[in-house]
Structure 1
Amino acid sequence: MVDGIPFGASSWGDVVTAIGAALPGSFVAIQNANFRTSQLNSFHSCNIAQEFLDSYRDHFAALNPWEGYWFKVPAGKVAVSEEVAPASLFRNTEFYNDWLIPQNNLAAAAGLKMAAEDGETIRLLMHYPLKQSPAYDIAAVQLMERLRGSLNRAMFL
């Protein structure tokens, strides 16, 4: 499916939908953001309510405490939140209380930094309930590591 994106046979939306189906109760997104301008350039997602998508684009993307971690790591890096920056570290933030928690407590996450250049990054992100973290962290990392090469090719073809 990923390899069909450059040729119009599939889309980024198809990819996030397929990944979301593999991890029930999660939401999945491919995000292109610019750290220097706090701008969200594109956001392909599934299993996220429109109101949360809109509020993320309009307000919460700039408040996302995980952005500091993702800014520092190289392209190709796969990580899980509970290992590098657990959501419990920012329980007293607007992002956590007003955006993460109202979405059925999707406080655990995994991500793949697909590309980075001039402050701009493209990432594959998955959020899921903290109680699913022991199983979903492993599955998400394996999935992202397996998809990494295909995603990279699809971006640059």
Structure 2
Amino acid sequence: MPDELQLLDLIGQIYDAAIGDEDWTRVLDGLSRLLGGHAAVLQRPHAPGQRVQALVSGIDASYVELYGARYHSLLPIGSWLPRMPGGSVFVDRMLLPDREYVRTEFYTDFLTPQDQHASLSWLARGRAGSRATPALVSIWRSRRQPEWEPAQLRLLHRLAPHLEQALEIERRLSA
């Protein structure tokens, strides 16, 4: 697990990204490294029917376009997200058993070619009165990596308020 200095450095980068002094993809890279992943995604809030905007680290950019065009609607945990409380930290297999997840088109046709297997995610709180899907940060591991452990969930939960606040700061500054 990371030491306190590594954690504080990442928190600083998160707020720097909020005000435009840091690139969110570098934050995602740091978050992925800190949690022991090999790829990371920040899915921006989006209104129903609006195209998904995502920033990535460790993922081929061509897959971002594929995700928005086709695979977002096939996300196996997609039906769970609107029912989850904002601020939730979870592993995808907490919502759908592995034996079901790996049989989905999303897994076989989208994740497998990217060497992605399991995600650890944080779901932001939605804005009051907004119908937009909240931001979602997901850190990915390959099948060759160990399963996510409670310590990694706790660490992402510890970082979640900083991610939440930074995304709100960024939204307000861009308004």
Match in the other structure for 2:103: 92
Aligned residues: 154
Match in the other structure for 1:45: 56
Which has the larger Rg? 2
**Aligned partners of 2:132 and 2:168: how far apart in 1?**
18
Measure how far apart 1:100 and its partner are. Answer: 1.2
**Which runs of 5 or more structure 1 residues have no equivalent in the other structure?**
none
**Aligned partners of 2:85 and 2:141: how far apart in 1?**
24
Structure 1: 4+ residue segments shifted above 6 A: none
Aligned ranges 1:7-156 → 2 under 5 Å: 7-23=19-35, 26-34=38-46, 36-37=48-49, 39-40=51-52, 42-104=53-115, 106-116=116-126, 117-134=130-147, 136-156=148-168
CA deviation string 1:63-97 (max 9, x = no partner) = 11111111210110001122222343133332111
Does the aligned pair in 1 maintain the 2:92–2:118 contact within 8 Å?
yes
Measure how far apart 1:139 and its partner are. Answer: 4.6
Measure how far apart 1:150 and its partner are. Answer: 0.9
CA deviation string 1:44-68 (max 9, x = no partner) = 1101112322211221111111111
CA deviation string 1:8-47 (max 9, x = no partner) = 221322210111233555210110254732631x201101
Secondary structure in 1 aligned to 2:79? helix
**Aligned partners of 2:102 and 2:67: how far apart in 1?**
17
Identity value in percent:
20
Question: Normalising by structure 2, what TM-score?
Answer: 0.76
User: Which has the larger strand fraction?
Assistant: 1
CA RMSD of aligned residues (A): 2.2
